[in-house]
Amino acid sequence: MIISVASGKGGTGKTTVSCGIALSMGYCQFFDFDVEAPNALFLLKPEIRHIQKVTVKHPVFLNGTGASFKDCAEFCHYNALAVVGTEVIFFPELCHGCGGCILVGPEGAVREKDIAIGEIKKGAASPGIDFFMGDLKPGNTRTTNIQNELEHYIDKDRLVIIDCPPGTSCSMVNAVRKSHYCILVTEPTPFGFNDLLLSEEVVNSLDIPFGVIINRDGIGNNDVENYCRQSKIDVLAKIPNDKGIAKFYSRGEPITDFDSGFKEIFSNIILEIKIKNQ
Amino acid sequence: MKIAIPTEEGKVAQHFGRSPQFTLAEILKGKVINTEVLDNPGHSPGAIPQFLKEKGAQAIIASGMGARAMEIFENSGIAYILGAEGSVDKVIEDFISGKLENKASTCSEGSGKGTGIEKDGCGHHH
């Protein structure tokens, strides 16, 4: 079963929760899909056993041959090509690596080359966690390419935990869309509430059942909880605001080390999710 | 060159940080000219990479290691090979003959997809 952990607002506690779940259950697959700023490794402390480069294909134009690249520029959906006479200017930041210009371009005048955009790392963390993460090279924008490489390793017959990037843009949608259930982590503040509604919209449009964990309970008001009750959204847990948890986190120590009682809380949440969604 | 291998009962240890010993092998002209087996100095953060650096290791051959250790080795210009397993002697032999597979693709060819990998250069020695 694939369970994603997402949030609208950043910093609400996704990684705290996703790692807490993994450490409580053990013997699962854990994927850090926040490839722009992966942080689960600091809490799970995996031994990395395999690093794999992720590449995308970029075109190489043989300018100066007199060949016309007009077709390529017209074809490019992403405006990555500008034709000046018979020369073409290529904007790598806009290229999506679709390979279309290579297909439609004049024979032999457009080649392709592999550009490394980042890596995926595979390893193991205790207890029995198969750990996978992506790492996008700074300056690159192709988060989904790295996420899609990671996706190959998902074994949906096992318990799979996916730590998602914050927000509701492409990379979050891509991280969430294959999951069977999504845990939305929020905080009980106006921003937390607003961004919870945005992320709810995403999971609803993807038809993914979800529940909410309210983290740092006590710092705001009851609006989130009231909303969930009215909308019949499961509030899976309320984690109290505690400086101790934050201190542990800042030292790379997971919430289950702060208080081993969380192991039972997270295990029960997973049990509840499995019962209601199988 | 000097290579270090986390060792447990003559085999590559499965857990870098908790490896009981480290084999330090000095290789010259394709032959091992000296071997030392050192006890693990203790797993406080950053201690083991520092220890191996002080012992003059220029490359590490391991099955895996934590991200912190990797970072320290990278910053110290020490190369690392991941995915090694089995007898330490065999691993050293394979390393010398070039047969050892490296699962840290920053130093290996053929990983990734496509017709040619654009290498930025390894920046360290093999």
Residue B38 belongs to a domain with what CATH number?
Answer: 3.30.420.130
Q: Predicted confidence band at B105 (pLDDT cuts at 50, 70, 90)?
A: low
- Helix, strand or coil for residue B53? helix
Shared-domain flag, residues A125 and A232 = yes
Structure tokens at A61: 């134009």
Interchain CB distance below 8 Å, B113 and A114: yes
Q: Does B8 touch chain A (CB under 8 A)?
A: no
Q: Give one DSSP letter per residue of chain A, joined into a string.
A: -EEEEE-SSTTSSHHHHHHHHHHHH-SSEEEE---SS--HHHHH-PEEEEEEEEEEEEEEE-TTS----HHHHHH-TT--EEEETTEEEE-TTT-----HHHHHSPTTTEEEEEEEEEEEEEEEETTTEEEEEEEEPTT---HHHHHHHHHTT--TTS-EEEEPPSSSSHHHHHHHTT-SEEEEEE-SSHHHHHHHHHHHHHHHHTT--EEEEEEEETSS-SHHHHHHHHTT--EEEEEEP-HHHHHHHHTT--HHHH-THHHHHHHHHHHHHHHHH-
Q: Does A47 touch chain B (CB under 8 A)?
A: yes
Shared-domain flag, residues A97 and A181 = no
Please indicate, yes or no, if residue B125 is contained in any of the structural domains: no
Q: Predicted confidence band at B115 (pLDDT cuts at 50, 70, 90)?
A: very low
Please indicate, yes or no, if residue B95 is contained in any of the structural domains: yes
Report, in angstroms and rounded to the nearest whole number, the Rg of chain B calculated over CA atoms: 14
Shared-domain flag, residues A270 and A138 = yes
Shared-domain flag, residues A80 and A213 = no
Q: Does B44 touch chain A (CB under 8 A)?
A: no
Name the DSSP letter for residue B33: E
The list of chain A residues with pLDDT below 50 reads none
Q: Predicted confidence band at B111 (pLDDT cuts at 50, 70, 90)?
A: very low
> What count of other Cβ atoms lies within 10 Å of the Cβ of residue A206?
14
Domain of residue B50 covers 2-106
Residue closest to A105 by CA, chosen among A86, A125, A130, A131: A86
Query: Cα(A211)–Cα(A183) distance, rounded to whole angstroms?
Result: 5
Shared-domain flag, residues A75 and A203 = no
- Residues in chain B with CB shorter than 8 Å from the CB of A113 are 116, 118
Please indicate, yes or no, if residue A234 is contained in any of the structural domains: yes
Shared-domain flag, residues A18 and A147 = yes
Task: Give Cα B59 distance to the centre of its chain.
Answer: 5
Output the pLDDT for position A238. 97
Give the residue with greater pLDDT, B16 vs B122: B16
Shared-domain flag, residues A25 and A160 = yes
Interchain CB distance below 8 Å, B105 and A124: no
pLDDT tens profile A23-35: 999 999 999 999 9
Q: What is the mean pLDDT of chain B?
A: 84
Among partner residues A47, A112, A119, which is closest to B15 by beta-carbon distance? A47
Shared-domain flag, residues A149 and A167 = yes
Cis peptide before A127 (omega within 30 of 0): yes
Q: Does A123 touch chain B (CB under 8 A)?
A: yes
Give the residue with greater pLDDT, A176 vs B98: A176
- Is A271 buried (19+), middle (13-18) or exposed (0-12) by CB count in 10 A? exposed
How many domains, in total, are found in chain B?
A: 1
Please indicate, yes or no, if residue B112 is contained in any of the structural domains: no
Shared-domain flag, residues A97 and A129 = no
Task: Give Cα A146 distance to the centre of its chain.
Answer: 10
Output the pLDDT for position B122. 41
- Nearest CA to CA, how far is B73 from chain A (Å)? 14
Q: Does A46 touch chain B (CB under 8 A)?
A: yes
Shared-domain flag, residues A227 and A210 = yes
- Nearest CA to CA, how far is A183 from chain B (Å)? 27
- Residues in chain B with CB shorter than 8 Å from the CB of A51 are 82, 103-106
Please indicate, yes or no, if residue B116 is contained in any of the structural domains: no
* B112, pLDDT greater than 70: no
C-alpha to C-alpha distances, A237 to A103, A247, A268, B19, B40, nearest whole angstrom:
53, 21, 10, 39, 42
pLDDT tens profile B53-62: 999 999 999 9
* B116, pLDDT greater than 60: no
CATH number, domain at A74?
A: 3.30.70
For chain B, the residue count is 126
How many domains, in total, are found in chain A?
A: 2
